Structure 1
Amino acid sequence: MKTLVYIVLFFFGSLTAQNATFFDEANALYNDANYEEAITKYESILKTKQHSAELYYNLANAHYKLNNIAPSIYYYEKALQLKPNDKEILNNIAYAKNMTVDAIQTVPQLGLSRFFNKVTHTLSFDNWAKLAIVLMVVFVVLFLVYYFNNGTTSKRLTFVFSFVFLFLSLFSLGLAFQKQTLDTKNNPAIVFAQESEVKTEPNLGGSEAFLLHEGTKVQVLDTINNWKKIKLADGKTGWIVASDIKLLNNF
């Protein structure tokens, strides 16, 4: 059994070292403006199922240099999934999106909906759940202090604060499930076809709803055979041939 473990560790160690070498070689090719060869090297690392924001970012940069609109945006988006607040990635993806044809206005969120969505996305599902547990522990401690305390003032204060923390714990738990729901529904994709005709129905006989061009980001809502129901940032929906888009959540 130990021998098997050593073999597995040696294999993954060798694979990591090899990928580090490929990454350095790809970066050198990129710096020499050999962008196509750099892309090949970066993609060879992806084939080993090893992913990183740096790898996707450099791969996106190489495609951007070749004016490959869809792949550059796709890999910048992949990098953002791993590092959502990285300023360099956000800056470069903005430049890449300037090359796209489709000008789609995002429907603004208003009032409480905007506020709660912003709050929900401040933490991941796991972190909201952990916060809920910590707050619940504080509630239990304060309630025990209240229960065994004989002082009138301190008893009243611990009682009030214990239920404040109980409320915050339940609120955090609710945000955790809300975050999980939003993440489950979030199924983005990038249009890779130079031009794609979006239909009102999932078949070639359906009438044209609108046209999309490479690099546009969409949300996938449903799948029927080789058709995907998509939604744009402006609220428009339609059906697109599955091969015309590439899902971002696939790693």
Structure 2
Amino acid sequence: MEYFQKANAIYNTKDYSRAIALYRKAAEMKDNEASALYNTAVCFIHLKEYAKAIPIFHSAIALRPESKYFFNLAYCYAMCVNKQKALYYFNTAWTLNNEDEDCEKAINLLLKSYRIAP
């Protein structure tokens, strides 16, 4: 069985630390590299290690610039309290998929946080 498939099976058991190791091996072996990187970063989100996920999302995006990759990158920036980068990447995600209602909601929440109360 390929590393990527093994990692997916482990991910489904919610053993994110073990899944990370297998996804990293899959990426190293070029076994679904972009997806392996993306899934590695998602595991870090589940572990609430957002700062660790950010550079991995950037690597995945370099290989495959998909809306959901940008969305999750933006989410990590939001969780790291970097509103400017979060807004930038949520907007990028929404540009790629303007039907994503969650993305639109995230953008609106961030924009509201910039507004000054009267």
Q: Could you say which structure has the higher helix fraction?
A: 2
For 1:51 and 1:16, the matched residues in 2 are separated by 18
Q: For residues 16 and 89 of structure 1, do their structure 2 counterparts lie closer, same or farther at Cα, with a shift above 3 Å needed?
A: farther
Between Structure 1 and Structure 2, the one with more strand by share is: 1
- Whether 1:77 and 2:84 are equivalent positions in the alignment is no
Q: Aligned-pair distance for 1:45?
A: 1.4
Q: Is the 8 A contact 2:74 2:88 kept in 1?
A: yes
Shift of 1:85: 2.2
State the alpha-carbon separation in 2 of the partners of residues 53 and 87 from structure 1. 12
Find the counterpart in structure 2 of residue 87 from structure 1: 101
How far the C-alpha of 1:86 sits from its partner, in A, is 1.4
Deviations 1:180-233 (A, max 9, x none): xxxxxxxxxxxxxxxxxxxxxxxxxxxxxxxxxxxxxxxxxxxxxxxxxxxxxx
CA offset digits 1:96-135 (Å, max 9, x no partner): 22232579xxxxxxxxxxxxxxxxxxxxxxxxxxxxxxxx
Larger gyration radius, structure 1 or structure 2: 1
**CA–CA separation in structure 2 for the residues paired with 1:15 and 1:70:** 33
- 3-state SS, counterpart of residue 78 of structure 1: helix
CA shift in 2, pair 1:85/1:62, >3 Å: same
Matched, 1:97 2:111: yes
Q: Measure the CA separation in 1 of the matches of 2:109 and 2:86.
A: 10
Identity of aligned residues (%): 18
Q: Decide whether aligned partners of structure 1 residues 82 and 102 sit closer, same or farther in structure 2, where only a CA change above 3 A counts.
A: farther
Residue 21 of structure 1 corresponds to 36
The amino acid of 1:94's aligned partner reads N
Alignment of 1:161-180 (within 5 A): none
1:1-251 equivalent positions in 2, closer than 5 A: 17-48=32-63, 50-100=64-114
Which runs of 5 or more structure 2 residues have no equivalent in the other structure? 1-28
TM (normalized to structure 2)? 0.68
CA deviation profile, 1:48-92 (whole Å, cap 9, x unmatched):
3x2111001000110011110111000110011111121111111
Output the CA distance in 2 between the equivalents of 1:99 and 1:35: 21
Structure 1 unaligned spans of 5+: 1-13, 104-251
State the aligned residue count.
Answer: 89
Mapped to 1, the partners of 2:114 and 2:30 lie a distance apart of: 37
Counterpart code for 2:69: L
Instruction: Give the superposition deviation at 1:44.
Output: 1.0
Return structure 1 stretches of 4+ with deviation > 4 angstroms: none
Question: Structure 1-normalised TM-score?
Answer: 0.33
Post-superposition offset of 1:47: 2.7
Tell me, in whole angstroms, the C-alpha distance in 1 between the residues paired with 2:84 and 2:47.
23
Q: Cα distance, 1:42 vs. partner? A: 0.1
Aligned-residue RMSD, C-alpha:
2.0
